[in-house]
């Protein structure tokens, strides 16, 4: 094991060759399958041009960017480029996480395909008990795919940018103190919450920002029936449309979808929302806590030291 700034790591990824590996995927590939204890991987600063996968047989991995250094994982796959038929979107990821219990901190994950490339995923998460802190996710359409029926995922103090449906999927995902940045007049979320899942996407104490030329973004639209999205105590810029939500040209979805807000703030909170969206009461909003939404995924802030848990 090696130490860095007082924290212990199982291995170090360093492009210069001074660590144990020069590529992130090499460190993950060499990690013990189904380990008895968490495996902590430190990544030193630099641009890592690679497509990274954390397999299901590699749970309990912490991937941590060195403190004070910029770590960028970037790739440019996109829908037309991968050529995998109608489901090509799901092959475009830069980072794909399937190992339960994954933790990440101080990383930037980017899909660099460009604004005209169509669907191009930066982060694809299909695992339970996953948490990201102080991370940045950069892309355009479909930047962050949170997947897995029953999977619980948590994002704390993260930055997510995109154009269309740039937070989408069927997982239960809790976003706290995050900045959500719209790069086009389009839709922020596209949830596909399963019918029997009590929560979908919850944004708590977040900030919604936009590029200077963006003036008409929706909070979300239902990718599938029973989509569930809630914004609590969120600062909304004036780029958010007064109606707030869209039914994706499916009026029937209005009967099953739960789109809700509580104590929205800022110029984007003004205006008359669609009649089928909910304005939560204080009592109803109390259901949307991190403990209720993601349960055991919650970790106290003082456990998010740079070395993981």
By annotation, the residues acting in catalysis are 142, 165
Q: What are the structure tokens assigned to 229, written together? A: 């999205």
Task: Specify whether the CB–CB gap between 26 and 20 falls below 8 A.
Answer: no
Q: Which residues pair with 271 in a beta bridge?
A: none
Q: Nearest-CA neighbor of 168 among 146, 198, 185, 197?
A: 146
Integer Cα distance of 123 and 118 in angstroms: 15
Nearest to 288 by CA among 205, 225, 219: 205
Distance of alpha carbon 57 from alpha carbon 79, whole angstroms: 27
143 with 113: CB under 8 angstroms?
A: no
């Amino acid at each position: 094991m090696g130490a860095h700034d007082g924290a212990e790591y199982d291995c170090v990824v360093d492009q210069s060759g001074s660590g144990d590996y020069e590529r992130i995927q090499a460190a993950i590939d060499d990690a013990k399958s189904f380990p008895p204890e968490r495996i902590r991987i430190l990544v030193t600063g630099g641009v890592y041009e690679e497509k990274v996968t954390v397999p299901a047989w590699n749970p309990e991995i912490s991937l941590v960017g060195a403190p004070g250094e910029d770590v960028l994982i970037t790739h440019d796959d996109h829908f037309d480029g991968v050529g995998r038929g109608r489901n090509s979107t799901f092959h475009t990821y830069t980072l794909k996480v399937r190992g339960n219990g994954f933790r990440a901190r101080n990383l930037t994950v980017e899909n660099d395909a460009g604004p005209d490339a169509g669907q191009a995923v930066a982060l694809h998460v299909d695992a339970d008990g996953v948490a990201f802190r102080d991370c940045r996710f950069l892309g355009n359409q479909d930047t962050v795919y949170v997947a897995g029926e029953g999977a619980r995922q948590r994002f704390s103090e993260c930055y997510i940018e995109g154009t269309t449906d740039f937070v989408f999927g069927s997982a239960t995902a809790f976003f706290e103190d995050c900045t959500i940045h719209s790069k086009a007049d389009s839709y922020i979320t596209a949830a596909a919450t399963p019918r029997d899942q009590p929560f979908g996407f919850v944004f708590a104490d977040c900030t919604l920002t936009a590029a200077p030329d963006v003036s008409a973004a929706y909070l979300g639209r239902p990718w599938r029936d029973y989509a569930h999205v809630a914004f609590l105590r969120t600062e909304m810029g004036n780029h958010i449309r007064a109606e707030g939500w869209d039914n994706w040209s499916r009026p029937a979805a209005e009967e099953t979808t739960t789109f809700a807000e509580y104590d929205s703030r800022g110029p984007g909170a003004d205006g008359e929302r669609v009649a089928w969206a909910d304005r939560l009461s204080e009592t109803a909003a109390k259901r949307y806590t991190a403990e209720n939404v993601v349960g055991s995924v919650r970790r106290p802030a003082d456990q998010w030291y740079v070395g993981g848990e």
